[in-house]
Structure 1
Amino acid sequence: MKQLQILCQQEEKKLSQLGLQKTTAQQQISRIEQQKQQLGQMISDYSQANSRCASAMLLQNNAQMCQVIEPMLKQLTRKQLLLQQEQQRVHGLWRKQLGRQQSIQWLYNERVQQHRQLQQKQEQKQLDDLAARYVRA
């Protein structure tokens, strides 16, 4: 029974670690989404500045900035997709681990309950035996 209790604790620890991985991935995805929005806003700002700009040098600067920012945006999008795939993978592992942990916990609780019932039966038998001795005496 002690081994089953240790196994329960190990499974809970694994579940906790997977939960932490899920949370970390979600936070990274959120940060990337914010960065993408900021880069998108920068591209929008530079593009709008082109329509108001009369100087050829400023037009060229704005165009170059957009050319620099766009690959960064694409790279963040790729990174975000990879993180989302990893998060889905970890979520699947977490769900399996949750099922495993709950099953082992259920088995442990069943064994504890069976052990208690056996102890109660033994105690009742001892009490019945004692009562029978007193009745005969």
Structure 2
Amino acid sequence: MKQLLRLCQQEEKKLGQLGQQRSEAQNRIDSLSQQKQLLSQMVKEYTELSCNALSPITLQNSAQMIETIAPMQKQLTRKQLLLQQEHQRMDNLWRQQLGRQQGIKWLYQERKQQQRAQLERQEQKQQDDFASRYALS
């Protein structure tokens, strides 16, 4: 029974660790999304600037900045896809661990209940034995 309790506690600990890793992965995805959004906003601003450019230098600078930002956007998109895959993997592991943890917890509770019922039966048997002894006296 103690081993089952210890196993239950270990599984809860694993579940907590996986949950934390899953949350961290989601936070990294959110951070990359914000970075991508900022880069998109910069591209939009430089595009508007180039449309309204009064000088060739401003137009050239805007075009260069857009060209510089494009690879950064692609890199962030690749990172985001990899992180989403990692998050999905962590989520699957977490769900599996949740099922395992809940199963072990259920088994522990079931065994605990069986043990209580057995103790109650033993106590009732002892009380019945005592009662029958006094009744015969």
- State the 1:97 CA deviation: 0.6
Secondary structure of the residue aligned to 2:97 is helix
> Given the alignment of the two structures, is residue 74 of structure 1 paired with residue 79 of structure 2, yes or no?
no
Equivalent in the alignment of 1:40: 40
* 1:116-137 residue CA offsets vs partner (Å, 9 max, x unmatched): 0110010001101110111111
* 1:37-59 residue CA offsets vs partner (Å, 9 max, x unmatched): 11001001101111111211111
Aligned length: 137
- State the 1:91 CA deviation: 0.6
Unaligned runs of 5+ in 1: none
Measured in 2, the distance between the counterparts of 1:60 and 1:83 equals 35
User: What TM-score, normalized by structure 1, do the two folds share?
Assistant: 0.98
Correspondences of 1:1-137 after superposition (within 5 Å): 1-137=1-137
Unaligned runs of 5+ in 2: none
* 1:54-104 residue CA offsets vs partner (Å, 9 max, x unmatched): 211111111111111111111111110000000000111111111100110
Measured in 1, the distance between the counterparts of 2:5 and 2:126 equals 29
Measured in 2, the distance between the counterparts of 1:33 and 1:123 equals 64
Q: Bigger shift: 2-11 or 15-24?
A: 15-24
RMSD of aligned Cα (Å)? 0.7
Letter in 1 for 2:111: R
Letter in 2 for 1:123: E
- State the 1:22 CA deviation: 1.1
Measured in 2, the distance between the counterparts of 1:90 and 1:126 equals 53
